[in-house]
Structures are given as C-alpha cells and as structure tokens.
A and B are shown apart, each in its own frame.
Chain A
Amino acid sequence: MTTGIVAYGAYLPCSRLERKAIGEALGAPAGAGTRTIASYDEDTTSMAVEAARAALRATALRPEALYFATAAPAYLDKTNATAIHAALALDAGAPAFDLAGAVRSGVGALRAALDAPRPTLAVLSDVRTGLPGGGDEREGGDGAVAFLCAPDSREAPALAVPVAHAAATAEFLERWRLPGEAASRQWEERFGEHAYVPLGEEAVARALKAAGVTAPQVAHWIVTGPHGRATKRVAGSVGAAKGTLVDDLAGSVGHTGTAHAGLLLADALDRAKPDELLAVVSLADGCDVTLWRTTAALGARRPQAPVAALAAGGRPVPYATYLTWRGFLQREPPRRPDPERPAAPPSFRAEDWKFAFTGSRCQACGARHLPPQRVCVKCHAVDRMAPERLADVPGTITTFTVDRLAYSLSPPVVVGVIDFEGGGRFQCEMTDVDPAAVAIGQRVGMTFRRLFTAGGVHNYFWKARPIR
C-alpha cells in the first residue's frame, strides 16, 4: 500500500509589507512587490494551526502523529507541536514532535510523515525576519502549510504519491543564526552558489534516475531555497521543459523558509492534473529532491483556499507597524497595567477550551456554553454538560467596541460579542479587521492566535475574524 498526501492546506497571513515602503523609509531601493508578514498576534505555531485546520477540513481521516517543522520556534526546550495538537483536538495517543531550528527541517518533516506507517500530519511554518534594510527582510515571507500523509485507501485516497527521493548532504557555513539573535548571518553570496549548485545537480540526477524518468517528463518543477542565486542556477540546469518551472511566489509572498518547498508543492497540486509528475528540489544545507506522481483522486479533492488565492489577497501594513510588530521599533506603551501572563495550572485545566475552543452543551435543554460551564445558564441543570467544539462554527457580531485604551502591540483592540450559529455566545477579540468597518450583523469565523506574550509566556487563544 503506497503512502502519499491525502490532504493538504496552506495558510498565509493577510498582512503584506510592500518592498517599496521599505525603500521609501530607508532611502534605498528595496525592489518591487510584496511579502507576507505574520500579524502581531501570529507566530509559527498559530499559523501552523491554521494551515493544519485547512488540511483537515478536506478529509475525515484524523492524524495519529504530528511533526511540526519551523526555523522560528515560539518556544525552545518546550515542544511547540503540542499546542498545535491541542488546537486541532487530536487524540492524546497521537505523539507530537518539533523538528525545529533549520529551514531543512521542513522537507524533513514531510519526508518523515511519508515514511510513517500511520496517518501523520506534517506542518511546516515559518516567520522570516532580518535586520531592517537587509535581504532577508525584503525577500522573506511568512506562512505555513500542512500535509496529511497516509496509506492510500478508499476512504482517504492519496492525491499524490512519491516515486523517488534523493538527498545530497554536506556541512558548510552558508546561512546561520545563534539562538536568540534577531537576524541570520550569511557568508559571501558567491560561496553559497559554489557549494549548492553541485549538490543540487547531483541530487536531481539521482532522483530522476531512481524514478526512471527524464527531466522533460516532469510537468511541474519546484526549485527553491533561501539562497536566491544558487536556486536560480540549479533551476536553470535541471533540464526542465519550457514553462514547467513553478513560480516561486517571490513577488507576492516572499520565501517562507521552512514552509516554502511545501507551500510551492501545495500551489502546484492546486493546479496539477491527475497522473502528472512533480519535482520538488529544496536547497537548504544540502539538497532534497522528491519526485511525485499525482493520482486520479486529485481532481476531486481540493483545499478550500488555493495558495494562489491566499497569495493574491492581503492588505499592506505600514513599514513602521511591521517594525513594531517584530520588536525592531520600540513604541511608547499606554499608561496601563501590563497584561498578566496566563498561569500554567488554569491553562492546563482548560486545555480543551483554551486551545481547541471546546465549549459545552447542556444535555437537558441543549443550550451551548462558551467557555464550558457546569451549571446551565438557561435551565440551571447541574453537571449535565457534554463537550462541543466550536472552532469551525461561524457566528455573527451582536455588538462590539473599539478599545483605544487597552494594551496591544497593534491598537486599537476590537472586541466583538459573537453569537454562534446553532447557539452559544462569546465575547472576544477580533483580528484582521478594519476598526472602521466592523458592524453589527457581520459574519465571523474563529482563528487561532497568540494574543500576547507576557512574563515569557505566549498566550494562545482564539479570535474572531470577518469571513471574507
């Protein structure tokens, strides 16, 4: 039984940084186009949750293991995949592991999921930062992608299966970052080109040979890596037929680091036809190549939001706002008490609520409760509740306010009172919203975010976001 991708989904934050804005602020040309930027309330963990939700919405199959890859982990020492696991309400029996620290761990997580004998979710996520005015700031992008890999079955048919893998590993100092530093360092650009190109060519040749195919037979070539020059050189030498190189999304999204090979694969799968060959060539501390063949099932199964649509959307954010979000520009705080860090025991007791947005439904009268209650607000029945997850239930705004006094990295804070379809009400922060455009009756969906970080603790929870 072949293991392949049975579902996938991507997430791109809605905020964009226009390269022109960097250039104008710093007085030096910074190129054209935009890059995606994680909002002030997003990080690699929260974006991973959104990508994984998109993937899992497309299938009834539940992952039995989770691999999370990122070069920008929200926590060190503590596993980040457990928060994603909790937000997806996965079974406690499913293990969750981080593959953290390097861009190469992205293709590594996907490879590990393909090699697993059980349904395994690989989630790739990254927030790419660099010092103001640098190439990483300009050319990076933020985003996440998730793949559910499982043995092909009638219930969950594989959309694409790997036909060959090849790797070329070498140790060289091309791009690196010490833990805690704000930006990566790079050796002279031409050295990276010297190291990468032969590795890339070698791995591609071996993969083609292993699959018994030639380069022109591949319908979609994805060649990607954080080193722009080397990537272009390898892309030019693989022997791709004209028009088969997949656009690298540099103009709209930027290079999303750990997530990028996966993001481009998802984008190619969005457009691929059944029984086509795809090659993914990832240049990161060596080269990893996977040749894929799409199946007949691909035509019938598509994620709700294609990568192209995610990449095309978004709204520009002023450069100063971006710098503030990333901590490069420290702004005067309001004269208000600092937010309190969430405490570990209450968060642990409330795991299903805080991470999975699981409320309760009264078994006596049917009333829904957010957060879960023991005594029914309607019929006052005691301890007759059953858990009910509302993360995917849409709601409408009943009333709202724009709080210009509350602490936020991105004031003002917009808060809505949300009434959910089928019952239940919750009052929560809104995000990705124009304060001037909020209105009673607007429809919203829930999204997993990092509310704030206080006392060294990230406060993850859900916010409401207008349904576009």
Chain B
Amino acid sequence: MASNGIRDRVAIVGMGCTPFGERWDRDTSDLLVDATKDALASAGVELGQVDAFWLGTLFSGQSGLTLSRPLKIDYKPVSRLENFCATGSEAFRNACYAVASGAYDVAMAIGVEKLKDSGISGLPNLGAPGDGTKAGLTAPAMFSLLAPAYARKYGVDEAQLKEVMTRIAWKNHKNGALNPRAQFRKEVPKETIACSPLVAGPLGIFDCSGVSDGSAAAIIVRAEEAHRYTDKPLFVKALSFVAGPAAGPIDPDYDYTTFPEVVASAVDAYAQAGIKDARQELAMAEVHDCFTPTELVLMEDLGFAARGTAWKEVLAGTFDLEGELAVNPDGGLKSFGHPIGASGLRMLFECWLQLRGEAGKRQIASVARGRKLALTHNLGGAPGECVSFVGVVGSEPSA
C-alpha cells in the first residue's frame, strides 16, 4: 500500500481564468462559459474534443447538469464534486487520474463559485439538520484560534504577531495590484491593514480574504501527447489530498499552531514529486491564505520555514515576489477573494503563467534562472479539522 502518484503521466495544455470579483453581471453559467471558452482557446481544442469533465463547486449548483446545461455538452460524463475549500483542486485531481488511467484522452477540470448573490457577508450555512451543539463560529473566528496559540508557543508578543499578519496581507495585496484578474488591484498601506476594524480575535477586515465570484479551468491530456497542443505544457508532478480525523477540537494534544493535514499532504506530495527541499527547489507557491494567520502557519507546515520561525521569515521578506520563495505571487485569496470551487484552479493558473514566463509584471525571476516547479495548496475546514491538497506542477518532465 502506497501513495504512488502519477508523476509526469499527464499534462496541462490549456487554462482559462475569469476575472474574480463582485460579478453582478455574470451568473454561475456565465462564469462557467467564460472560463471554458478561455481554456479551450488556450489549448486549441473544441468543446467536442473533451471526453470528460470534472466540475468543482460547493454552493453554486448540484450535478453535472450545472456545467452541461450552459455549455450544451452532448452526452459526455460530467462529475460535480466538492471538498470544502479544496473543491477546485479536487476537480483537477480527479480529472488527472481519469486521463492517467487511460479512460479518456482529454479531460477538463473546472471550478466555479457564485457567492455574491446571497446578500450576506461570508459564506452561507451548510450542513444537515443537527442537535444545535456545535459552536456557530464564523470562518475568521475558527482560523483566529491559531493566533494566540502560535504567539504563546513561540513567544511572539501581540504587537509582533499583528505586524506579521499585516505584512502577509500587505504582501499579497502588493502582488494582487499587478494582476488584472484580481478582485482587489491596489496596494494597501500597512497602517490601513493594521487599523482595520476587528472581525475575530486579532483579525481585522484586511486579515480576511474577500468574498467574490469566479471560475477557472484546465485542459488535461496524457503527457506524451502534450506537445501536440502546446510548446509549453505543465507536467503534473504530484497530487496529494488528505482528510484528517478532525481530532483537533476534541484532542487536547492538538495545539492550534499547525495543520497536521497539510503536513501529511505536503510530505506525500514532495515524495511523489521527488522534492527534497521545497524552499530551494520551488519557483513559487500558491497557498491557501484565507486568513493571514493561516498563511503564517502554512509556511511551516509546507516546510518553507522551520517551526517557530515563519514569523521572522515573513518580516524578512522571504516570501515576497522578489524574495527567496515567492508565495502567492498572483495576490492570493487576499486579492482574489475565495469563490470556493474556483480557487484551486485559479492558483494553478498562476503556476501556468509563471512557469511559462507569461506573468508580465509579476514574473518571478527564479524561473529564468532555472526553477521549474510550482506548488498549489488548498485547505478546507478549520484548524484541527480540515482537508488539505498539495499539488506540484513543472515545466519539464523529470529526468
């Protein structure tokens, strides 16, 4: 029994990504049509050439009909799936496996979420009827539990921690300012971030990702056929997905300074991809910065920083666009908002642009110097009870 991975067996040959934001002029179907059109054009294929579809969405529709109806797909398999905030990555992972298995030649993974029609802040309620005993915490509150625990464990005082969180938001907004698809496309002064109204614990409004609409899609084929579609395919190096036992909220041994699920999926993904030192080998990483303390903890869980040191690395600029390892070069959830089903594929879209040298003003210098790998990461749930995805793509097949 092992997680064998499918390194270099499939490749991405086209991608599309809509602008993210409050898309009052677009419904779910429009967003799906927009992203599909772009992805098909990018790969140079017609809709009829795609053999199977995986659609990721949490709130915006059920069943494959959500995709087949607007696109008028003629009698092809369309799977709709969700896995919390990792939904988009989960659509991609399953499409990759279908192609790797030989079942289909061409597959499309697409994610979408239309959040701005609900009229409320944050996310709608989910879940089956219950006994009313689960604390009704909002998402920012659940993730804010990390802050005091991290600060206490590593002796970081309140003001320092706030500075670290502020710098993460500032960095991601700075990157997003360079991205025409982002929801927020301007830099935000650190003072504005630090003084924004409190939402939960030490988290101000600017420590939270926004709420937006969007869609992104990828066309996947077998690796040996990739060059028929593009000169610069991305090869899938690793796909790791784990669901944890959700032990954190009931197990006193969990200390709220790490996501064990992320650690497990990172270890698995690095083994699949043959990565020994992520910080040295990756050109960039798109990580799930739903809230600023999440990104802080992820730097340690993904092995980019030693335990207890990420806060110093953040302050030192290690993860800036020009830093040693660019994290969220496209602006992250912070700049894009988080249309659940779309986010994982939106992250992949940035890898697509960066590794192909097409990221314009955001282009990471280390790609030109020979770094060929990029990582995407999603997590869904809450500290101590989440699902996590880590994927690695590369611009060349491994030797």
Query: Are the chains A and B members of one assembly?
Result: yes
Choose one: B119, B136, B200, B252; the contact of A401 (CB below 8 Å).
Answer: B200
Please judge, given known A-B contacts A369-B250, A451-B132, whether A337 and B120 are in contact too, CB under 8 Å: yes
B383 CB, min distance to chain A CBs, angstroms: 9
Given contacts A337-B125, A403-B140, A423-B252, 13 further A-B contacts (CB under 8 A): A340-B132, A353-B133, A370-B250, A400-B201, A401-B141, A401-B147, A403-B137, A405-B122, A405-B140, A405-B199, A428-B135, A440-B148, A461-B133
Chain B residues 123-148 with CB under 8 Å of chain A are 124-125, 127, 129-133, 135-138, 140-142, 144-148
* Interfacial chain B residues near A343, Cβ < 8 Å: 129-131
Alpha-carbon distance between A341 and B132 when the two chains are bound, in angstroms: 7
Contact status A403-B138, CB under 8 Å = yes
Please judge, given known A-B contacts A337-B125, A426-B249, whether A417 and B133 are in contact too, CB under 8 Å: no
B151 CB, min distance to chain A CBs, angstroms: 9
A441 closest partner in B (C-beta): B152
Interface residues of B (CB under 8 A from A): 119-122, 124-125, 127, 129-133, 135-138, 140-142, 144-149, 152, 198-201, 245, 247, 249-252, 254-256
* Interfacial chain B residues near A354, Cβ < 8 Å: 131-133
* Interfacial chain B residues near A371, Cβ < 8 Å: 133, 250
A327-344 CB mask vs B (1 if < 8 Å, else 0) is: 000000011110111110
Choose one: B125, B130, B198; the contact of A346 (CB below 8 Å).
Answer: B130
Contact status B132-A459, CB under 8 Å = yes
Contact status B148-A426, CB under 8 Å = no
Chain A residues 335-362 with CB under 8 Å of chain B are 335-337, 339-343, 345-347, 349-350, 353-354
Is A175 interfacial (CB-CB < 8 Å)? no
Please judge, given known A-B contacts A343-B131, A403-B141, A407-B136, whether A336 and B200 are in contact too, CB under 8 Å: no
Please judge, given known A-B contacts A342-B130, A398-B149, A405-B200, whether A337 and B137 are in contact too, CB under 8 Å: no
Contact status A399-B132, CB under 8 Å = no
Contact status A398-B120, CB under 8 Å = no
* Interfacial chain B residues near A399, Cβ < 8 Å: 145-146, 148-149, 256
* Interfacial chain A residues near B255, Cβ < 8 Å: 398
Contact status A334-B125, CB under 8 Å = no
Q: Interface on chain B toward A: helix, strand, loop, or mixed SS?
A: loop
Chain A residues 150-182 with CB under 8 Å of chain B are none
B142 closest partner in A (C-beta): A401
Please judge, given known A-B contacts A336-B120, A343-B131, whether A419 and B201 are in contact too, CB under 8 Å: no
Contact status A334-B131, CB under 8 Å = no
Interface residues of A (CB under 8 A from B): 334-337, 339-343, 345-347, 349-350, 353-354, 369-371, 373, 377-378, 398-407, 413, 415, 417, 419, 423-429, 440, 451, 459, 461
B162 CB, min distance to chain A CBs, angstroms: 15
Please judge, given known A-B contacts A415-B137, A427-B135, whether A403 and B122 are in contact too, CB under 8 Å: no
Choose one: B135, B149, B249; the contact of A425 (CB below 8 Å).
Answer: B249
* Interfacial chain A residues near B127, Cβ < 8 Å: 340
Contact status A404-B199, CB under 8 Å = yes
A359 closest partner in B (C-beta): B250
* Interfacial chain A residues near B148, Cβ < 8 Å: 399-401, 440
Contact status B250-A425, CB under 8 Å = yes
Q: List 7 interface pairs A-B (beta carbons < 8 Å), by A numbering.
A: A336-B138, A340-B130, A342-B132, A398-B255, A405-B200, A425-B251, A427-B137
Contact status A342-B131, CB under 8 Å = yes
A369 closest partner in B (C-beta): B250
* Interfacial chain A residues near B120, Cβ < 8 Å: 335-337
Contact status A415-B131, CB under 8 Å = no
Choose one: B125, B249, B256; the contact of A340 (CB below 8 Å).
Answer: B125
**A-B residue pairs, 3 tightest by C-beta:** A342-B132, A343-B129, A403-B141
B139 closest partner in A (C-beta): A405
A370 closest partner in B (C-beta): B250
* Interfacial chain B residues near A341, Cβ < 8 Å: 132
